[in-house]
Structure 1
């Protein structure tokens, strides 16, 4: 118990704002972040997978370390647990996948500085997306950017773009496809990955159509 208490670090930025905390969040940013979390949560709901929004990630025991706080972090093989922050190696592994959603204030850093920072933390895949209408200046030619950790783990290489600006993510087992203000995930057969609400609505629709084909009015069963 004493050793456990000694290992606990009270990080300054767990109770004080970072620069990112002080920035406003556009409706584009908020809508896409919540949508992606819903899609990923449903896709992995039968597997151990922790998905966090804006969680502070640390790499040392220095209480004044400035954290990395991706908009979305996906940690496979780990069950979700409520936590104030995450210390890589002590709390668990580095995220397998992180997302940053563009803002005018952070987009330059997202594209130019974050790939190396996430590589040093051990992140395997990093995706950055601009949902704004019109797109921000640095993403006028495309909205989606992706990087993958090198085999030696020292840096990240930008992923080659597929048809329609898409990228394949082995860790998410999905194609990431730009769709204006939204970023969609598709499986290998071209089926879009759904949120739980969308999946349940689709199942209800299929059942209703089946009942109608049998001459039963599903509305009369309610």
Structure 2
């Protein structure tokens, strides 16, 4: 109850949210949860397609470069590993395509992260790349990751990114984020760039040689891209070559200047010698 004489502060925002089950069937009250609809078996988690694998490879590489350039060593970036969170139900799990894990235990890494075990924790950031069963990815992934305890979930739909004519109700990018009251809120839905608080960068959907890729950018316009390790290595090699070429050009200019100075000195010396010879000849004639 508001104390008498105290005005309610004027605030703007959403109402608090929580997971509540209204009016369950009588037989469901107090009954154990049937988790089987959320089971993810090894067979269900089939290997990714070639295209999906390339998206994952590039994103992981960019993420590694981002961590390296910021000097961050306490985060582990991985992909396609199981995370289970219900003790006694090891098949209730997800397998993010890309994830960031804070303070992981030392190697060897477990075959499956189980958050009830010491040192096992949910990823702080996860990316799911939408498969052929896009409705399942859209509808089931957010509540699963919400229960797992992920701080931020990115859902990338390559098919929707190929063009408006292929979308329907689908979108290239969705971002879900843990809010102050613990609610898992979809904070972005669109074409991107979309800001990620957990990696303090922007997610950009790009066409590269006819395919779509999810890239990381340092700026909101999505122009200043974080390179992959391969791109960073190539850029460093090109910078080294450019520096070496600039040094060779500078050395060549210095050598040419030295040659020109030497030639000028020789011409000056020859001129002096001719002058002395001329003066000697004049002196000889005057004396004669």
Q: Per the shorter chain, which TM-score range? A: 0.7 to 0.9
Which protein is bigger by CA-based radius of gyration? 2
Q: Report what 2:132 is aligned to.
A: 104
Larger helix proportion of the pair: 2
How many matched pairs? 198
Q: Report what 1:34 is aligned to.
A: 57
TM-score (norm 1): 0.77
Gaps of 5+ in 2: 1-38, 251-288
The answer to whether 1:178 aligns with 2:201 is no
The answer to whether 1:148 aligns with 2:181 is no
Looking at structure 1, the residues matched to 180 and 197 of structure 2 have their Cα atoms a distance apart, in angstroms, of: 15
Structure 1 pair 171/50, CA: closer, same or farther in 2 (3 Å)?
Answer: same
Q: Report what 2:235 is aligned to.
A: 202
**1:213 pairs with one of 246, 252, 272:** 246
Q: Report what 1:48 is aligned to.
A: 74
Looking at structure 2, the residues matched to 186 and 102 of structure 1 have their Cα atoms a distance apart, in angstroms, of: 21
Q: Report what 2:87 is aligned to.
A: 61
Looking at structure 2, the residues matched to 191 and 27 of structure 1 have their Cα atoms a distance apart, in angstroms, of: 27
Alignment check: 8 A CA contact 2:174 2:188 kept: no
Gaps of 5+ in 1: 1-12, 218-222
1:104-137 CA deviation, whole Å, 9 max, x = no partner? 12x2122222112111111011001122374664
The answer to whether 1:191 aligns with 2:224 is yes
What's the CA shift for 1:28?
Answer: 2.0
What's the CA shift for 1:203?
Answer: 1.2
If asked which structure has higher relative contact order (CA below 8 Å, sep 6+), I would say 1
Q: Report what 2:151 is aligned to.
A: 124
Please list, as runs of the form range in 1=range in 2, the aligned pairs for 1:7-22 lying within 5 A after superposition.
Answer: 17-21=42-46
SS in 2 for 1:86: strand
Alignment check: 8 A CA contact 2:123 2:150 kept: yes
1:36-58 CA deviation, whole Å, 9 max, x = no partner? 11111232244121222211111
